[in-house]
Structure 1
Amino acid sequence: MKIRVLGAAAGGGFPQWNCNCRNCQSVRAGLPGFERRTQSSIAVSADGARWTLINASPDILQQFQAFAGTWPTGGLRGCGIESVVLVDAQIDHTTGLYMLREKGSPWPIWCTDPVYEDLTRGNPILHLLEHYCGVNRRPLPAGGQPFHPEGSERLDWQALPLLSAAPPYSPHRGNPVPGDNVGLTIHDPATGRRVFYAPGLAEVDEAVFAAMSAADCVMVDGTFWTDDEMISMGLSKKRARDIGHLAQSGPGGMIEQLARLPRHIRRVLIHINNTNPILDDQSAERATLTAAGIQVAYDGMEIDL
């Protein structure tokens, strides 16, 4: 199984277009240790030729241009991506679908029922696509049943409902339901290896920890370093957990949760907000992660399992 990180940043990317925090200033200035990142998305393949896209970020065109696996081959039009799997209905995970409207046939799009509701009511992007390429919506089972998206049929996929938050435009924003946000376990029967992917994760409950413990690699929420990061910087009145993210530091934070895993499991943080000090390669916070055996995802990162 091959995994390509198309984008590693949270919503807004890095640098964020309207942000003048130290991190964003530094990456614009080209200072060493600060690497640009586009908004969160990965691609998965069983053979390196046919790919499944997980989340379609607003930066999808830039990401496709940077990754030869998505380029057309053998014809006038085409794409190495054969289907799309959505873990939620958030803007930074779905807006890229607008950019994929030129496809010559309907896109197979796998999503849960709550996500489908959000994307046909609160933000009716799937209805809009019907006026262009069309959509073949595939119900994504959130009860652990295996499914097999086009482009990676040889892999066994399972979805696990997560405790997180629905988008602000969702009918159930204040009353979350199972399937608003899912984590994905992807298993390669040929190698026996697994990855667990959850870019938005508010809590590591028993089911999530079991899925993480059974994986060979976990790619999980790296949005904020502290729970009050945005509050302390004067950028928001909400804590990380209020918007569906588990901070890395502090009691019960992601660092502590990852430390509980068996030592052989590869640990990768993804979906990193522009304010997070771990985006500075030379920061004390990055050193803490390195000492804990935790990696920080970057655009173009490749993982073979």
Structure 2
Amino acid sequence: MMRIRVLGSSAGGGFPQWNCNCPNCDGLRRGTVMARARTQSSIAVSANDLDWLLVNASPDILTQIRDTPELQPARSVRDSGIAAVLLMDAQIDHVTGLLMLRERASALPLLATPEVLTELGKGFPITGILSHYCGVAPHALPTDGRSFTAPGLDGIGLQAVPLSSRPPPYSPFRGNPRPGDNIGLVLQNPSNGARVFYAPGLGEVTPELLDLMSSCAVVLVDGTFWTGDEMQRLGLSTKAAADMGHLPQSGPGGMLEQLARLPVATRKLLIHINNTNPILIEDSAERAALTRLGIEVAHDGMDIHF
């Protein structure tokens, strides 16, 4: 049985966000809402509960490792269960944690598309910085449908799927996205064929992508915003969800409509949830709507077996 551990389930900034006093963040601090704190989104995947693929390295990685004893198997005086890291994009909230892994004794296997590796070598030069510490061993991901494995994790089948979204604000390609700027990830259990689709950043669900998701036992997808104008209505940003590369849950063509097209047997979960999203409040009308539709909200520490 393969296992996914949700290390972090929030969008960038976490929940509560350090400088935010929206109703959700203020309510969580005051204890006036039914909600739980969340770190920034990341998952870890293992086929043996000993060797793990870290998918995205959030700024909260040290807290996430501390809260996940399985990631420290203690086989030697210095050790880690993290065998390799795979990046879905070059967003700051998905890559900054790489800097916290600098004490590694050998080069860190780093899997990402050529586009993301270029961003991390130039626009946000983490790989250059790490070359003065442990260094990285880059592995360019194929995005043409070919399957692959990660170093040290041969028991996990992987496939990268180019998605419609946007590269980071610091990227020179922000206004002209490329297919490799953001990916979804298919994880396959070779022993039973079960597949999981993971996509914390998703701006559009195409018919082809819907077919792919329909073939998966579990989909763990973008839950950033409830409405397209969520940040604007709260006076927190001038940008809509689409401007930031995210498909909101509600509204025509939204994530809820897309997930309703999947087979009933497919387990459906939302992750990468922004601090403003009302689904964070466990007794909210929006959370109740998800429950009626059979859609779960991922949380830190959640285990998913497939």
Normalising TM by the smaller chain, what interval? over 0.9
Measure the CA separation in 1 of the matches of 2:152 and 2:33: 38
Counterpart position of 1:19: 20
User: Residue in 1 aligned with 2:92?
Assistant: 91
> 1:252 aligned to 2:266?
no
Distance (Å, rounded) in 2 between the aligned partners of 1:292 and 1:276: 17
Do the aligned partners of 1:45 and 1:151 also contact (CA within 8 Å) in 2? no
Q: 1:176 matched to which residue of 2?
A: 177
Name 1:264's counterpart in structure 2.
Answer: 265
Corresponding residue of 1:69: 70
Number of the residue aligned with 1:224: 225
Contact 2:249 2:256 in 1 (8 A): yes
Asked if the contact 1:269–1:294 (Cα under 8 Å) also holds between the matched residues in 2, the reply is: yes
Write the distance in 2 (CA, Å) between the matches of 1:219 and 1:242. Answer: 22
Please say if residues 186 and 198 of structure 2, whose CA atoms lie closer than 8 Å, have aligned partners that are also in contact. Answer: yes
Query: Could you tell me how far apart the structure 2 residues matched to 1:100 and 1:203 are?
Result: 33
Q: What does residue 41 of structure 1 align with?
A: 42
Give me the whole-angstrom Cα distance separating, in 2, the residues matched to 1:271 and 1:287. 19
SS in 2 for 1:138: strand
The answer on whether the counterparts of 1:57 and 1:92 sit within 8 Å (CA) in structure 2 is yes
Name 1:105's counterpart in structure 2.
106
3-state SS in 1 of match to 2:31: coil
Give per-residue Cα distances to partners, 1:41-99, cap 9 Å, x unaligned: 00001111111000000000000000011114121001001000000000000000010
Percent identical: 57
Match of 1:140 in 2: 141
Q: Which runs of 5+ in 2 are unaligned?
A: none
Other structure's SS at 1:200 match: coil
Deviation (angstroms), 1:32: 5.2
- Summarize the alignment of residues 52-63 of structure 1 with structure 2, pairs less than 5 Å apart: 52-63=53-64
- TM-score, scaled to structure 1: 0.99
The gaps in structure 1 that reach 5 residues or longer are none
Structure 2 residue 162 is matched with structure 1 residue 167: no
Aligned residue for 1:44, secondary structure, equals: strand
- Three-state SS of the structure 2 residue aligned to 1:154 is strand
**Alpha-carbon distance in structure 2 between the residues aligned to 1:304 and 1:47:** 12
Give 2:127's aligned residue: 126
Cα-to-partner distance string for 1:173-195 (whole Å, 9 max, x where unaligned): 11101100000001111021110
2: distance between equivalents of 1:274 and 1:102? 32
**Deviations, residues 135-170 of structure 1 (Å, cap 9, x unaligned):** 000011111111101242112100110000000111
SS for the counterpart of 2:142 is coil
In the aligned structure 1, how far is the partner of 2:217 from the partner of 2:177?
30
Paired residue for 2:30?
29
Native 8 Å contact 1:87 1:183 kept in 2: yes
The one-letter code matched in structure 1 to 2:81 is G
- Cα deviation, 1:195-216, whole Å, max 9, x if unaligned, reads 0000000000122112211100
| Structure 1 contact 185–211 (Cα < 8 Å) conserved | no
Corresponding position of 1:78: 79
Structure-1 residue corresponding to 2:51: 50
Aligned to 1:158: 159
CA contact (8 A) 1:165 1:244 kept: yes
Indicate if the aligned counterparts of 1:88 and 1:115 stay in contact, CA closer than 8 A: yes
Aligned 8 A contact 1:15 1:274 in 2: yes
For 1:255-294, list aligned pairs within 5 A: 255-294=256-295
SS of corresponding position for 2:180: coil
User: SS of the counterpart of 2:10?
Assistant: coil
RMSD: 0.8
* Residue of structure 1 in register with 2:212 after alignment: 211
Secondary structure of 2:121's match? helix
CA distance in 1, matches of 2:44, 2:61: 11
Runs of 4+ in 1 over 6 A off after TM superposition: none
In structure 2, the residue corresponding to 1:179 is in which secondary structure? helix
Paired residues of 1:148 and 1:157 also in contact (CA < 8 A): yes
